Amino acid sequence: MSTHDLYTDPVPTSTWDVPLAGDTRFTWEYDDGRDRLLALYQKGKDKQWDSVKRIDWDLEVDPGNALGIPDQALAIYGTPYWDKMGDKDRRLLRQHSTSWQFSQFVHGEQGAMITAARIVETVPDLDAKFYSATQTMDEARHVEIFSRFLQDKIGMVYPINTKLQDLLTETLSDARWDMPYLGMQVLIEGLALAAFGVIRDVTTKPLPKQILSYVMQDEARHVAFGRLALRDYYKELSAPELKEREEFVIDGCYLMRDRIRGREIWTNFGIDSNEVDELVRNSPYMRMFQSLLFSRIVPCVKDIGLWSPRIQATFEEMGVLEASRSDLEALMRQDEELAEKLDAERFAAEEADRKAEVDAVIAEEIAAS
């Protein structure tokens, strides 16, 4: 079945074309490069994996309760809209909510794949080209995983959110080589990584937990890559140049904040978009979710040197300034460790099951003899 048959609203069958900007840069310097970036490149090679083999796609998923998270996560929970719904409508709403969230993941990951390839073209340093080439492969795998989950398990796809599309346009249309890093590695990937983490930690269903845990293991490296490259470069920029980057971050953060409201879901259920904004603002879960979503972006922006009073005031107004105290290195280590722990638990359980099967066969043979 074509993906177009699963979209909640029709999307163009033609491609979305973003004009190229900036130069494609070759370098004739083949020296060893920066040790930390080359270590990330080596790690990127070592950590490649096959989603067909690593993820248990045979696990059943109920589209009406795919994540197994409390209904309080839905912005209309406890309102008259929720009270009027029967079980069938609530199941449909859960399906739409999961579809919308994972649809934005797959669209964002395609954007990340294209941006990583763009970084290979435009970045001047060979060590950064090396690492970004491994990231391009990672992002292709993520697109594969999320699209398969949507098509095979949820059976519904949402178009790209307009706010995400706007930020991708801004990121890819800028001729300066560092802007794809800033737009994708810091803002889009940073917010996605936090969203993955929230869902990974609250879902009670094994398949989405596997998917998000393994994707986050890759994404931890990607954010580290952006930090390393931009931290070095931004030390060299003038105050006016840094101000331009800060303006981009501020505009991008507002786009990301508005994106998570999921207006498309609620309009499909007959709720006015303005009322949706009010419902989201009044939802304790959504307020918590928003604060957690910036837990990776805020400390990363601070770390790369974009920390003017205006940036801080923006984060204060959004209610996320406290995230600047987060230990980003510790969060990234935890993302990698949780994926490794999940692997260990899964394969230990599978080994125990195989042993039990062998023991049962042996016991039957002994009894028969």
Q: Which residue ranges make up each domain of the chain?
A: 3-23+33-331
**Using one digit for the tens of pLDDT, what is the confidence trace for 67-125?**
999 998 898 898 899 999 999 999 999 999 999 999 999 999 999 999 999 999 999 98
Average pLDDT for the chain: 89
pLDDT of residue 314: 94
Confidence of residue 354 (pLDDT cuts 50, 70, 90): low
Alpha carbon distance 326, 360 (integer Å): 51
> Residue-wise over 45-69: b if at least 16 C-beta within 10 A, else e?
eebeeebeeebebeeebebebbbeb
Residues 6+ apart with CB under 8 A from 289: 73, 198, 260
Percent of the chain with pLDDT over 90: 53
Confidence of residue 362 (pLDDT cuts 50, 70, 90): low
Alpha carbon distance 192, 109 (integer Å): 9
Confidence of residue 221 (pLDDT cuts 50, 70, 90): confident
pLDDT of residue 358: 59
Strand partners of residue 7: 157
3-state secondary structure of 99: helix
Tokens 């697109």 sit at which residue? 143
pLDDT of residue 360: 64
pLDDT higher than threshold 70 for residue 353? no
8 Å CB contact between 71 and 90: yes
SS3 sequence of 35-48: HHHHHHHHHHHHCC
pLDDT higher than threshold 80 for residue 352? no
What are residue 232's phi and psi, to 5 degrees? -65, -45
pLDDT higher than threshold 90 for residue 132? yes
For residue 209, with 0-12 CB atoms within 10 Å meaning exposed, 13-18 middle and 19 or more buried, which class applies?
A: buried
172 compared with 280, residue with greater pLDDT: 172
Query: Which of 114, 110, 104 shows the shortest CA–CA distance to 163?
Result: 104
8 Å CB contact between 132 and 120: yes
Alpha carbon distance 148, 151 (integer Å): 5
CATH of domain 3-23+33-331: 1.10.620.20
pLDDT of residue 59: 97
